[in-house]
């Protein structure tokens, strides 16, 4: 917790306007980071938006520590968040079913930062910007995300393709009291 608190203090002193706790494999560490953020917010009497992004590691649909989408969401929803979502490990196509479950159940905005597909035998990502854009369009068509970006293997060209497609869409509406 102390190390997270020092990082949060330094980021805030540096002028950040949002904090993202990302690539969460283990919610115990995420909770330590979130606790540190809340502690700094209280000490400095500030309110800064917080995004949380977990990582589904494989086709099991669970985090590395074994949590399902729903368990992950419950584990980090104890504080007010700007968004909850997923990043890394999976490409946009593989991430979609987990975003569907999340979007149906959360009261927060949702985010996704998928990889540019899955790595090939050489650890490189072969998915083109246009291919990734098509999968992101599906997210938007089904109102799965409010915040979208890219993770491993994405390039400025991938991000431009994503930006080009989101211009045609309105933000996903919040599902108030989705957990009730």
Rounded Cα–Cα distance for residues 61 and 96 (Å): 11
Rounded Cα–Cα distance for residues 62 and 68 (Å): 5
Q: What is the pLDDT of residue 177?
A: 57
Q: What is the pLDDT of residue 176?
A: 63
> What are the structural domains of the chain?
2-166 (3.20.20.330)
Rounded Cα–Cα distance for residues 22 and 88 (Å): 9
- Alpha carbon separation from 144 to 21, 25, 43, 91, 137 (Å, rounded): 20, 22, 35, 15, 10
Percentage of residues of the chain with pLDDT beyond 70: 97
H helices within 14-172, ranges in order? 27-44, 69-76, 92-105, 129-141, 156-166
Rounded Cα–Cα distance for residues 133 and 160 (Å): 9
**Single pTM value for the model:** 0.92
Q: What is the dihedral of CA 13, 75, 135, 174, to 10 degrees?
A: -80
Q: Is the pLDDT assigned to residue 127 strictly greater than 90?
A: yes
Per-residue model confidence as pLDDT tens digits over 21-49: 999 999 999 999 999 999 999 999 999 99
The answer to whether the CB of 25 falls within 8 A of the CB of 63 is yes
Average pLDDT score over the chain:
94
Rounded Cα–Cα distance for residues 133 and 157 (Å): 10
Per-residue model confidence as pLDDT tens digits over 137-158: 999 999 999 999 999 999 999 9
Q: Is the pLDDT assigned to residue 180 strictly greater than 80?
A: no
When pLDDT is cut at 50, 70 and 90, the band that residue 171 belongs to is confident
């Amino acid at each position: 917790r102390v190390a997270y608190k020092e990082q949060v203090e330094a980021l805030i002193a540096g002028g950040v306007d949002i904090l993202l706790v990302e690539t969460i494999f283990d919610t115990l560490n995420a909770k330590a980071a979130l606790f540190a953020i809340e502690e700094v917010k209280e000490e400095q009497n500030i309110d800064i938006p917080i995004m949380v992004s977990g990582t589904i590691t494989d086709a099991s649909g669970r985090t590395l520590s074994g949590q399902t989408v729903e368990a992950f969401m419950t584990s980090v929803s104890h504080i007010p968040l700007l968004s909850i979502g997923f990043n890394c490990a999976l490409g946009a196509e593989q991430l979609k079913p987990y975003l569907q479950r999340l979007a149906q159940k959360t009261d927060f905005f949702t985010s996704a930062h998928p990889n540019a597909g899955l790595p090939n035998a050489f650890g490189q990502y072969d998915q083109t910007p246009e291919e990734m854009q098509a999968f992101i369009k599906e997210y938007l068509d089904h109102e799965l995300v409010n915040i979208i970006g890219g993770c491993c293997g994405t390039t400025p060209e991938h991000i431009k393709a994503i930006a080009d497609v989101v211009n045609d869409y309105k933000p996903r509406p919040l599902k108030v009291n989705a957990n009730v």
